[in-house]
Structure 1
Amino acid sequence: MQLENLTSFIGTEVKGIDLREPVGDSDFAVLRDALNQRSLLLFRGQRINEAQHVAFSRRFGPLLGHVLTQFLKKEHPEVYVLSNVSENGKPIGNHKEGWNWHSDLSYKAEPSMGALLYALEVPPVEGDTFFASMHAAYDALDDGMKARIRHLTATHSYANYYGKAFADRNPLTPEQLAATPDVVHPLVRTHPETGRLSLYVGEDVVKQIDGLPPEESAALLAELNAHAISPEFSYRHKWLAGDLLIWDNRCTMHRATPYDDTAYRRVMHRTTVAGDRPF
């Protein structure tokens, strides 16, 4: 197994490992430490099935489902499908998902620790995914801004996100709304394993910064989001079939990008690792 950094601040490619086989404890300890330090791990050229995907994902912790249960695999409901493909007149996965900057499941009281996204079919052009280091973004703030935001909180809202991202779809059902009430999280988050601080922001899903007048809240949130996604903190991943990416939701944001969904198929499988309450 070899580790090769993708950038100076985020991301490491892991080479020389076949995830169809169980990962030994000593190698897994290296992987876990690399994820804590680098926030994103890339494994290229994998040929795993759903069971192998789930088994490897469970090494990082208990797995979560998703509120959009129609896009979970029946035999392995831990696997959430992202796709533009339809079968028998029904979409097999969620499409146009995550085209804004976000941290997965930040609208939950206990957001996910991380996610493992596996590419089965990808378009030959476009459809890349951007990742940003919230550690690097926080470290680059001046002392005045750090002091201003250090103890602020923000309201994260799935209903707010869904209404903006999927305005052309049926509204959330009462059951889905009940399962995703608004939650409050710190604006500056502490990584539970390393103790490093990071910004905890996002587009659309973060409805407001609490305790501020609406105009001030909106302006500060826009400023922090724009800062967090600056190119110097970001990595752009060009997908290849067989790529498996693991990212740490406790200290990153990411966003998908559009592609020609009338010309090309895209099928991605995602597992989500349970986390704990941000502090």
Structure 2
Amino acid sequence: MLSCKPLNGPFGVEVFDAGLGTAEAEEHSAELLEALHKHQLLLFSDQDLSAEAQLRVTSLFGRPALPWDPTRAHPASPYVEVFRESPPRAYKRPAEHWHSDASFRAEPTDATLLYGVTVPSEGGRTHFNDTRLPLSALPARLRERVASLHAVHDFGRNFSTLRRASSQASEEEARAQLVALPPVTHPLVRPHPVTGEPALYLNEMCLDRVVDLPEDESRELIEELYAHTLHPRWQYAHMWRPGDLLVWDNPSLLHRGEAVPPGLHRRVHRTTAQYAGRAR
């Protein structure tokens, strides 16, 4: 049986004795997945994971998924993305906005795994915000209203523009991405794909508008939901240590990165998975 300790926040646990990267971890796969769905965020400290080992760990939580942007692929595996940050820079990264990974796709990311290879001694935290409890805490009338609404998630709304501004994509690449990633529609209150538990489904980067509402009414509703949801009482901020592996449940959490101070460096490896046994 796994041993877990709550993190310093309203959700999340540190997991011990999982044996990640070894055959023993396979025995804990069902328990690990159950813990992720219950606690939303799992921390595994003091890991030493190659790209291949991280991919094996990813398989414990579901079917590994190829990233939508292959330009950051690790040389050892197309499933592993490498993110480096060495400031200063003159722009705000897309990841510094509150988001749920790949909500601009018809099949969004379920589980994200982020492994700290090189981490700064200060700054560079990753912040998480629950979206289940804020839904249950909405006034009854507003909760009933949003339950039946859908919203458009558009990659081109902000994400594509910021990538061009940061020179992460040329104009030609950006146009190709817009064609490959057309706007999609998701419920504003989205049932968890495995447990069915509802949560608000928001994204500062690409949630564009609420379907069938006038533009001003749509924007007012979205801003009201952000103001209600993005509150410290529903948040946890993780200060990275080398060897930390975080695994989180995108259907029930928003997250954002924090800028790394000038002169410091950060390198993390990301993998993602789609849950098996999806309810939809």
Tell me the TM-score normalised to structure 1 length: 0.90
- Compute the displacement of 1:158 (Å): 1.0
Matched, 1:157 2:154: yes
| 1:70-219 correspondence to structure 2 within 5 Å | 70-84=71-85, 96-168=93-165, 169=167, 170-171=170-171, 172-219=173-220
Supply the distance in 2 between the matched residues of 1:278 and 1:229 (Cα, whole angstroms): 28
Q: Does the 8 Å contact 1:62/1:274 carry over to 2? A: yes
Mapped contact 2:94–2:159 kept (Cα < 8 A): no
User: For residues 129 and 6 of structure 1, what CA distance do their matches in structure 2 show?
Assistant: 14
Task: Give the drift of 1:222.
Answer: 1.1
**Secondary structure, in 3 states, of the residue corresponding to 1:203?**
coil
- Aligned pairs for 1:26-41 within 5 A: 26-41=27-42
The match for 2:236 is 235
CA distance in 2, matches of 1:191, 1:148: 19
Cα–Cα, structure 1 residues 188 and 145, in superposed 2: closer, same or farther, change >3 Å? same
Secondary structure of 1:181 counterpart: coil
Q: Secondary structure at 1:14's aligned position in 2?
A: strand
| Cα shift readout 1:182-231 (whole Å, capped 9, x = no counterpart) | 10000001113222110001102101111111111111111111222111
**TM-superposition CA deviations, 1:114-169 (whole Å, max 9, x none):** 11000000110001011111111111111111111001000001111324533523
Structure 2 counterparts to residues 257-272 of structure 1, below 5 A: 257-260=258-261, 262-272=262-272
Quick one: distance in 2 between partners of 1:24 and 1:272?
A: 18
- State the match for 1:53 in structure 2: 54
- Give SS of 1:82's match: strand
In the alignment, the residues of structure 2 paired with residue 153 and residue 165 of structure 1 have an alpha-carbon distance, to the nearest angstrom, of 25
Provide the secondary structure at the position in 2 that maps to 1:160: coil
Q: Which segment is superposed worse, 97-106 or 77-86?
A: 77-86
Partner secondary structure for residue 78 of structure 1: strand
1:2 has 2:24 as partner? no
Report sequence identity in percent.
32
> Could you tell me how far apart the structure 2 residues matched to 1:52 and 1:165 are?
32
| Alpha-carbon offset, residue 35 of structure 1 | 0.5
**3-state DSSP class of the match of 1:273?**
strand
**Does the 8 Å contact 2:260/2:266 carry over to 1?**
no
Match of 1:90 in 2: none
| TM-score (ref. length: structure 2) | 0.90
Q: CA RMSD in A?
A: 2.1
Equivalent residue letter for 2:273:
V
Is this contact kept in 1: 2:109–2:274, CA < 8 A?
yes
Measured at CA, do residues 180 and 118 of structure 1 come closer, stay the same or move farther in structure 2, by a change above 3 Å? same
The runs of 5 or more residues in structure 1 that have no matched partner are: 87-94
Return 100-109 or 5-14, whichever deviates more.
5-14
2:226 pairs with 1:225: yes
- The AA in structure 1 aligned to 2:146 is I
In structure 2, runs of 5+ residues without a counterpart are none
Aligned-pair CA distance for 1:20 = 2.7
In the TM superposition, residue 25 of structure 1 has moved relative to its aligned partner by 4.3
How many equivalent residue pairs?
Answer: 270
